[in-house]
Amino acid sequence: MKYPGIFSALFGVCLQLISTTITAAEHDDLPYLLSLYENLHRNPEISFQEEKTAQRLAAEFADAGFNVTSKVGGYGVVAILKNGNGPTVMLRTDMDALPVKEQTGKPYASSATTVDEKGNTVPVMHACGHDIHMTTAVGTARWLSAHRDQWQGTVMIIAQPAEERGAGSRAMLADGLFTRFPRPDYNLALHVAADLPAGTVAYTRGYAMANVDSVDILVKGIGGHGAYPHLAKDPVVLAARIISDLQTLVSRELSPLDPGVITVGSIHGGTKRNVIPDSVKLELTVRSYSDEVRKQLLDGITRIANAEARSYGLPDNLLPEITYSDYYTPAVYNTPELTDQMLPVLRKALGKNAVLEVLPVMGGEDFARYGRQEPLIPSHMFKLGSVAPDIVEQAKTSGSSLPSLHSAFFAPEPKQSIRTGIKAMTAMVSALLPVPDRDRK
């Protein structure tokens, strides 16, 4: 994946600007931001329901001097601060929480519930750190507004809905994000890491997170009595054959150098032990990095499911029904040139030992869509350590596991995480925007 060569010599000049002025350790806003974080954490909203969260962020950005537009692609918020001529840098934060019952025991723990799209009453928790993301975005907005004498250009901060559903970025783009508002020259984002100590950040060049596809397969058959299987076409046996063969797509059809995952996470079929059902439903998640591997896996799923059904003697009208979800999430690709230019920036702002390199993962993030808009936009998402350092050390010593993202027990260390996130993000934005020409009349 290649990007247009828009990086210029201004980077070296901008790097000189990064100094101890970008320090949130003594940031006067930190008590306010911690209060904001606790409020966001107590009042989470799931995907497509982020109304009050969006209202709070819109007010925060407006108070910081940004021009704010709400209800972009649903509850999306776009905040613009134009400060003279120069590039446009976009920062993305996400807003939605998860249907998880919090068990952290924190004094500001969520006890919220809501009614989901299926009509079920569910608990709600910021179990993926989006409250840290939002607070960091607000802190960054406040710092950039207060230090307009140190940069020129345009900063665009977007608060995106429905990241957990892989739908928010697509909705905002479809609502004119890059036509109604300035098209960015650079896209930046961060995501908390549940396995890295607070005070650190981590980067990955190139592919960092995966394409994510959801696939449903309705395996059909001919039902009957469990005692007379020869009079039926058992879809349970056929489903088992399909599941087994699907694994060979990764193990025997992909190059060993091309990662891929096919997981059948759900199987539903039958009502009684002695009744052969008419159908079995399989639910799959499919992960890859490149578009070519993605296509190979999806095409292979269709080929194998149909071939197994035909080999089982089923007619064409009983071939499996295969549905690919609209909520496809493309792979996060960190532009290597941008990543390499940001490394000295982060090391200067945080210290060399606080900037780590990590391997890519097969998780998904719809931040990727913004960089894939033609012509491609240089983009970078870095990881923000969020676990208290002593807890990380205890886990290493004991060999125990830390609570993962989406866990009911995931509890970031907010003060150091937010402080580090603001230092990192303000440093990166400042490095991408030119220093004002103070001699200009």
The answer to whether the bond into 375 is cis (omega within 30° of 0) is yes
Q: Which two tokens stand for residue 349?
A: 């702002």
Q: Which two tokens stand for residue 282?
A: 């399989």
Residue with tokens 């939605």, as numbered in its chain:
96
If 0-12 CB within 10 Å is exposed, 13-18 middle and 19+ buried, where does residue 179 land? exposed
Residues 6+ apart with CB under 8 A from 387: 193, 194, 195, 196, 197, 198, 402, 412, 413
Residue with tokens 């911690």, as numbered in its chain:
34
Q: Which of 45, 60, 96, 164 is catalytic?
A: 164
Whether 94 is catalytic: yes
Residues 6+ apart with CB under 8 A from 263: 284, 285, 286, 287
Residue 282, strand partner residues: 217, 267
Give the separation between CA 425 and CA 384, rounded to whole angstroms: 10
Residues 6+ apart with CB under 8 A from 32: none
Contact (Cβ atoms closer than 8 angstroms) between residue 77 and residue 54: yes
Angle between helices 130-146 and 30-42 (to 10 degrees): 150
Residue 121's SS3 state is strand
Strands 333-334 and 206-207: antiparallel
Nearest to residue 145, comparing CAs of 383, 426, 438? 426
Q: How many CA atoms lie within 13 A of 194 on its CB side?
A: 16
Residue 297, strand partner residues: none
Q: Which of 45, 50, 94, 163 is catalytic?
A: 94
Q: Write the DSSP assignment of 341-374 as a string of letters.
A: HHHHHHHHHH-GGGEEE----S---TTHHHHTSS
Whether 164 is catalytic: yes
CB neighbour burial string for 360-374, b if at least 16 within 10 angstroms, e if fewer: bbbebbbbbbbbbee
Any idea which residues carry the catalytic annotation?
Answer: 94, 164
